[in-house]
C-alpha cells in the first residue's frame, strides 16, 4: 500500500516536472524567436541605455539621458531613411511595439514622429524658393504628425487631418516614399488653414447649433400649418448662411486650398529635378484632359501660380457631390446649400479664399470679384 502511494506520487511529480520543462522550453524558444525578430530592429541603432537606469549622481543622470536621447534620435532618423529607401513595412512597426517596453515604446514612437516631421521639412526646403518659404512656416507651426501602420485611425485613408484633435495621421505602410512629401504638404496645409479651423469651430459651436435647431423647428411647424415660406429674421438668415458656408469650408474648399498648394510645390520640385513624376498628381491636377486647356498645353510654375487655384476648384467641383443627407435634408438648409453650390459653380473664383499666410504662395487678392477675373 505504502509502496503504491509512493509510485503514484512519483508519477505525479514526474508529470509536473515534464509540464514545467515543456513550458520552460517554450519560453526559451519564444525568447529566441523574439530575440532574433527584435534583432532586425538593431539595424536602426542599438538602444543600450534603459529607462530604469539608476544614476549614482545628477551628473551621471544627465550624461545617461543625453546618450539615450542621441540613441533614440539616430534610431528614428535611420528608420526614416530606411522608409525613404522603401525598406519599411508594417512588420517593422509591429516589431517596435513588440520588442520595447511601454516607456521605451512611447519614446521611440515620439522620436519617429519627430524624425519624419523634421526630415521631411528639410527635404521640402531644398525644392526651391516657394517650398523653402513653406518649410519656414512649418518650422514655426505647432502641428504634429503621428505615424501609423495598418492600425491607423481611419481605415480607408492613407493620411488625414483630424479636425477635432488638430493632428495629422499618416500611414507609412500605404504611402509610397516618393509621394510622402506631397501627402505631408497636403496635410500640413490643412493644419495651417485658419479658415478651416474657424469653420470647424463655428460649425460645432453649441450655441449656433441650438440656434440652427430652433430655425429648423420653426420652419417645420410653419410648413405644417400650411405657410409656404418660413420668414427668417436677417440675423437668422445670416446664421443659416454662415453655417452652411462653414460646411463647405471644412470640406471641398479646404481641399481646394490644400491641393492647390501641394500641386504648386510639386511643380516647383519637378522643375528643379528634385522629385520623380507622380502620375496621379499629373493626371488629377495637371492633366489637359481634365480641362479646357489645349492638348499642347503644359503647366508652368508661373501659370499655375496665377490660375492654379481656379483650375483646382473647377476640377473639384466637377467631381463633387453635394451631401443633402442627414442634417442638410431639412429644406431650410438644403435650399441654402443648393444656393451656395450653384454660386460656386457659376463663380468659382469668388469662393477661392486663402488666409493671409497661405495666400503668400499665390498672387491672390482675397474676396476678388469673380465675374471680372473669371
Residues contributing to the site for Zn ion (CB under 5 A): 258
Least distance (Å) between residue 64 CB and Zn ion: 43
Contacts of 370 by beta carbon, 8 Å cutoff, 6+ apart: 347, 348, 349, 350, 351
Residues 280, 305 contacting (CB under 8 angstroms):
no
| CB nearer Zn ion, residue 81 or residue 174 | 174
Rounded distance between C-alpha atoms, residue 127 and residue 132, angstroms: 7
In Å, what is the CA distance from 295 to each residue of 38, 277, 289, 299?
54, 19, 8, 11
Shortest Å distance, C-beta 342 to Zn ion: 24
Smallest separation, CB 174 to Zn ion (Å): 16
Q: Report whether 136 contacts 188 (CB < 8 A).
A: no
Rounded least distance, CB 189 to Zn ion, Å = 8
Helices (H), the chain: 2-39, 58-84, 90-99, 102-125, 129-139, 180-192, 194-204, 206-224, 234-248, 254-271, 279-285, 301-319, 331-346, 370-373
User: CB of residue 125 vs Zn ion: minimum separation in angstroms?
Assistant: 22
Query: In this complex, which beta carbon is closest to Zn ion, that of residue 273 or of residue 319?
Result: 319
- 122: which residues sit within 8 A by CB, 6+ positions away? 135
Least distance (Å) from Zn ion to the CB of residue 214? 33
Closest CB to Zn ion among 162 and 211?
162
How far apart, in whole angstroms, are the C-alpha atoms of residue 63 and residue 71?
Answer: 12
Q: How far apart are CA 283 and CA 120, in angstroms?
A: 24
The smaller minimum CB distance to Zn ion, of residues 265 and 333, is found at 265
CB-wise, 258 or 313, nearer to Zn ion? 258
Residue of minimal CB distance from Zn ion? Answer: 258
Nearer to Zn ion, 111 or 193 (CB): 193
Amino acid at each position: 500500500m505504502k509502496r503504491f502511494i509512493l509510485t503514484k506520487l512519483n508519477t505525479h511529480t514526474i508529470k509536473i516536472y515534464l509540464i514545467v520543462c515543456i513550458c520552460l522550453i517554450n519560453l526559451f524558444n519564444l525568447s529566441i524567436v523574439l530575440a532574433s525578430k527584435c534583432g532586425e530592429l538593431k539595424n536602426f541603432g542599438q538602444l543600450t541605455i534603459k529607462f530604469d537606469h539608476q544614476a549614482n549622481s545628477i551628473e551621471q543622470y544627465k550624461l545617461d539621458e543625453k546618450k539615450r536621447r542621441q540613441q533614440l534620435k539616430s534610431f528614428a532618423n535611420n528608420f526614416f531613411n530606411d522608409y525613404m529607401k522603401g525598406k519599411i513595412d508594417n512588420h517593422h512597426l509591429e516589431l517596435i511595439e513588440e520588442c520595447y517596453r511601454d516607456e521605451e515604446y512611447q519614446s521611440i514612437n515620439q522620436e519617429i514622429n519627430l524624425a519624419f516631421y523634421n526630415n521631411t521639412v528639410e527635404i521640402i526646403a531644398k525644392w526651391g524658393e516657394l517650398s523653402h518659404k513653406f518649410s519656414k512656416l512649418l518650422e514655426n507651426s505647432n502641428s504634429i504628425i503621428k505615424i501609423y501602420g495598418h492600425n491607423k485611425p481611419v481605415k480607408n485613408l492613407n493620411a488625414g487631418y483630424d479636425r477635432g484633435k488638430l493632428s495629422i495621421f499618416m500611414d507609412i505602410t500605404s504611402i509610397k516614399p516618393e509621394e510622402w512629401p506631397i501627402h505631408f504638404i497636403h496635410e500640413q496645409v490643412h493644419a495651417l488653414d485658419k479658415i478651416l479651423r474657424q469653420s470647424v469651430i463655428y460649425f460645432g459651436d453649441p450655441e449656433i447649433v441650438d440656434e440652427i435647431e430652433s430655425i429648423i423647428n420653426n420652419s417645420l411647424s410653419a410648413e405644417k400649418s400650411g405657410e409656404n415660406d418660413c420668414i427668417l429674421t436677417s440675423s437668422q438668415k445670416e446664421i443659416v448662411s454662415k453655417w452652411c458656408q462653414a460646411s463647405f469650408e471644412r470640406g471641398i474648399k479646404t481641399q481646394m486650398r490644400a491641393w492647390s498648394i501641394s500641386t504648386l510645390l510639386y511643380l516647383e520640385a519637378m522643375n528643379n529635378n528634385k522629385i520623380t513624376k507622380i502620375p496621379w498628381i499629373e493626371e488629377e491636377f495637371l492633366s489637359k484632359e481634365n480641362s479646357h486647356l489645349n492638348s499642347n498645353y503644359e503647366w508652368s510654375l508661373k501659370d499655375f501660380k496665377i490660375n492654379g487655384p481656379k483650375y483646382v476648384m473647377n476640377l473639384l467641383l466637377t467631381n463633387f457631390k453635394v451631401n443633402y443627407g442627414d442634417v442638410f435634408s431639412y429644406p431650410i438648409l438644403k435650399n441654402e446649400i443648393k444656393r451656395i453650390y450653384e454660386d460656386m459653380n457659376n463663380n468659382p473664383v469668388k469662393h477661392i479664399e486663402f488666409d493671409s499666410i497661405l495666400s503668400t504662395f499665390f498672387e491672390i487678392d482675397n474676396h476678388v470679384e469673380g465675374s471680372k477675373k473669371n
